[in-house]
Amino acid sequence: MAEPAHLDVSGLTKRFGGLVAVKEMTLAVSAGKILGLIGPNGSGKSTVMKLIMGIERPDAGSVRINGVEVAGWPSHKIARMGAGIVFQHSRPLHRQTVLENIKLALLPDRLTRLFADPQTDARARAIAARVGLSDVLDRRPGTLPFADLRKIEIAKAIARDPQVLLIDEPFAGLTAKETAAFSDLICELRDDGRALLLVDHNVKSVARLVDRVIAMYVGERIAEGSADEVMRNETVRRVYLGGSIETAARPESSFRDTATPFLEVDRVSVQYGKAQALQDVSIHVHEREFVAVVGLNGAGKTTLFNTISGLLPYSGNIRRQGSALRGHSAASIARGGIVQCPEGRELFTEMSVRENLDLGGQHLPPAENAEQIDWLFDLFPILRDRQRQAAGTLSGGEQQMLTIARALMMKPKLLMLDEPTLGLAPVILEQISKALEKLRHSTAITVLLAEQNVTFALPHADRVYVLEHARIVWEGEPTRFAAEMGTGYL
């Protein structure tokens, strides 16, 4: 007879207004097992965790912890039943030491037992030793590396000895060495007989640890099986890769500036606080070349673009045509011809389409401004019809076209497009794809494209870089991508 699951979820459903964030999710995790829950941003993974822990109240479905129905209970009661959660973002009390943070997690939650028993200090020290914090007990969180902040969250979560432990993005921001150490700790927690649910963007991050994987997309389960089975599942591949891969690359040798590329990013590293956002990243882009940087959400693509744009401090070197960009302001880099089209669009929503375009071309003489706008209206005809309409009233696809057009009003030498396909319908993707091809074949512009959807990126790319967990893990021609990275990309 099979052992009953520590965590048993059935038919879990959550709606936010008209949006179904989670639809009839079912999963189970037994003692000494690890289940991976994967999916792109917006697929519903974090909502599932919040529903299990009582942070959000489900509209339907069952959540059982050690056989007890807890769906809809408040978080503190669910925690008492034996569930704990480790959030992606660390939330320590910064004025307290590491030891004090752990001791606070051990304090009773009843007023009748307000004062900790004498054993609390010993228990806190034992937990710290378990997660590898014994050497930093008297330090405050602000002085610790990012990996130790994650360990504090683990320590707080296991203070009540939970039998069910949920861990969100376990390896986000960790170096390869830290990831290995954190993996060992997760395995130890599993070997204690706990049931673990790991939530991540992709299979590869958790593949070595998990017994099974569930893949989600727009709130629904689309696949379940071993890590290898899920990585090879056609539905999962379509969700992450978007379909079949077609390419039309130009050889690198065909570009005239092969000796000194237009843009060189040389061993660049970036940190957000204690988290490693980029690590020794090197790429180059030739004049008139179209280069794609592909990677799953959270890989570091936007950080790379923001760094090139002069928005973030970094170590390493970034050069334009051999000249260092360090010390140049973001404004001067943009005026010099390196223009970023941001993922968040950042339009002036209360201004009209035409006013947004005029702002992009404010440095141009009136005649040149008018000529550029006419050219852009030919590139994106819908914007001509919408030019008097407020940008905030456009559809998502029309806003994306306007964002690209506004960037092109600056007549960039290098255009950086950050996730231009995010959330767009296929018909809009086709229009943007045609516009990129027109740019590629009829202008001298250089393009650096950041995308998760490789089937959109690769047909427009001459070369491809794969960014994974803050590092470049592959570089090559698009024709080699399917053979060498098609499965590994997940």
3-state secondary structure 398-436: HHHHHHHHHHHCCCCCEEEEECCCCCCCHHHHHHHHHHH
**53: nearest Cα among 84, 20, 90, 96:** 84
pLDDT of res. 486 = 59
Alpha helix (H) residue ranges in 145-273:
146-157, 176-191, 203-206, 227-232, 234-241
Provide CB contacts within 8 A for 141, sequence distance 6+: 90, 92, 93, 94, 98, 101, 149, 152
Give pLDDT tens digits for 384-442.
988 899 988 887 788 888 999 999 999 999 999 998 887 666 677 788 888 998 898 88
Same domain, 223 and 258: no
Whether residue 1 is contained in a domain is answered as no
Q: End of a domain among 186, 216, 241?
A: 241
Same domain, 157 and 180: yes
Whole-prediction pTM value? 0.61
Same domain, 214 and 155: yes
Per-residue pLDDT at 245 exceeds 60: no
Three-point CA angle 43, 44, 50, nearest 5°: 160
**Average of per-residue pLDDT across 189-201:** 89
What is the H or E stretch that residue 317 is in?
A: strand 315-320
Q: End of a domain among 241, 273, 290?
A: 241
Give pLDDT tens digits for 310-368.
999 999 999 999 999 999 999 999 999 999 998 877 888 889 999 999 888 888 898 99
Q: End of a domain among 215, 241, 267?
A: 241
pLDDT of res. 115 = 52
Provide CB contacts within 8 A for 398, sequence distance 6+: 382, 383, 386
Taken in order 322, 323, 324, 328, the sign of the CA dihedral is negative
Per-residue pLDDT at 252 exceeds 70: yes
Same domain, 359 and 420: yes
From the number of C-beta atoms within 10 Å of its C-beta (0-12, 13-18, 19+), residue 36 rates as buried
What is the H or E stretch that residue 440 is in?
A: helix 426-442
Whether residue 59 is contained in a domain is answered as yes
**445: nearest Cα among 406, 416, 477, 413:** 413
Q: What DSSP state is assigned to residue 452?
A: S
Taken in order 308, 310, 315, 320, the sign of the CA dihedral is positive
Q: Per the structure, how many domains does the chain have?
A: 2
Residue 473 C-alpha from the chain's centroid? 16
**446: nearest Cα among 338, 318, 311:** 338
Confidence bin at 173 (pLDDT 50/70/90): low
Give pLDDT tens digits for 26-67.
999 999 999 999 887 668 888 999 999 999 999 999 999 999
Tell me the CA end-to-end span of the chain in Å, nearest whole number: 35
Domain at 29, CATH number: 3.40.50.300
State the residue range of the domain holding 182: 7-241
